[in-house]
Amino acid sequence: MPRDMVKDVGLAHQYIQQRIGARRPKIALLLGSGLGDIANDLQDPFTINYAEIDGFPIPGVAGHDGQMVFGKLEGVDVVFLKGRVHAYETSDFQPLKTLLRSLQAFGIETLFTTSASGSLHEDMPPGAIMAISDHINMMGINPLLGPNEDDFGPRFLEMSDAWGKDTRQTLLDCAQNLNIKLHEGVYMGFRGPCFETHAEVNMARILGADAVGMSAIPENIIANHCGLNIIGCAVITNLAAGMLPEKLSHDQTLAGAKIARDDLSRLVKSFVKAL
């Protein structure tokens, strides 16, 4: 039997609000593969495990802890989401919908996502960060398939500014002030879990993509549907398949994420303060 989304979101919202007390974050930051350590920068942290909340997603991939960590960053109340469930782990998007719609229900206005990604350009190497300006969905899925849930958003979703142009400009300004080279480009999402073939990488270039990955797009669609402002960064952990002789692996992804950690942490702190 399908779950009652309105009930699940209401109960999740109520539980979270009771646990966090007077904290009132307006910004949530979703940390991708190997990026969870950035949450260590929080002052006065308070953790809620996804598993505590009925209907929330439970990640099953290394580098995704499955935790909401509340605290202050540069004096601003925020919540870090440590980990995601990828589309290659499940075809059930109800838990992801419950998570993101619960954020909106307890007052989150802006969602900042980060995603470990492969670069399609040699001048955007491991350790680089790319602000996502747009995306191409090659996952073959859409989390809004099926009956529309009218309590949360429209049947036909307008996506011409899917990645928050105005808010992204704030991020670009922060990067410039910090002397961090922040690339900007199009993210192409594949469902995975296989890394892309050489032919798929060539196709991505031809179609106008600058980076590839296995996440970001489902949460973008759901966030836009329920009215969250969303921006995102593709954190470059490797060059795409065929650009270098070595084979791709998840260990390589985690190692590449560590290279970007310091710049991403500084950028996030500046952005939160500016926003």
Is residue 89 part of the annotated active site? The answer reads yes
Query: DSSP code of 36?
Result: G
C-alpha span between 97 and 107 (Å, rounded): 16
**Which candidate in 13, 86, 135, 183 is catalytic?**
86
φ, ψ of residue 142 to 5 degrees: the values are: -150, 125
Rg value, the chain, Cα: 18
**Which candidate in 5, 15, 74, 89 is catalytic?**
89
C-alpha span between 35 and 65 (Å, rounded): 10
**Which candidate in 12, 33, 124, 220 is catalytic?**
33
Is residue 121 part of the annotated active site? The answer reads no
C-alpha span between 125 and 248 (Å, rounded): 14
Is residue 265 part of the annotated active site? The answer reads no
Is residue 135 part of the annotated active site? The answer reads no
**Which candidate in 139, 211, 214, 234 is catalytic?**
214
Write down the H helix ranges in the chain. Answer: 5-20, 94-105, 165-177, 198-207, 217-225, 250-274
DSSP helix/strand/coil, 56: coil
**Which candidate in 115, 215, 220, 270 is catalytic?**
215
Is residue 214 part of the annotated active site? The answer reads yes
**Which candidate in 105, 142, 159, 250 is catalytic?**
250
C-alpha span between 183 and 196 (Å, rounded): 22
**Which candidate in 52, 88, 121, 159 is catalytic?**
88
Is residue 215 part of the annotated active site? The answer reads yes
Is residue 183 part of the annotated active site? The answer reads no
Query: DSSP code of 39?
Result: G
Is residue 13 part of the annotated active site? The answer reads no
**Which candidate in 13, 39, 64, 219 is catalytic?**
64
Whole-number Cα distances in Å, 24 to 73, 173, 244, 271: 13, 26, 46, 18
**Which candidate in 238, 240, 257, 270 is catalytic?**
238
Active site residues: 33, 64, 86, 88-89, 116, 214-215, 238, 250
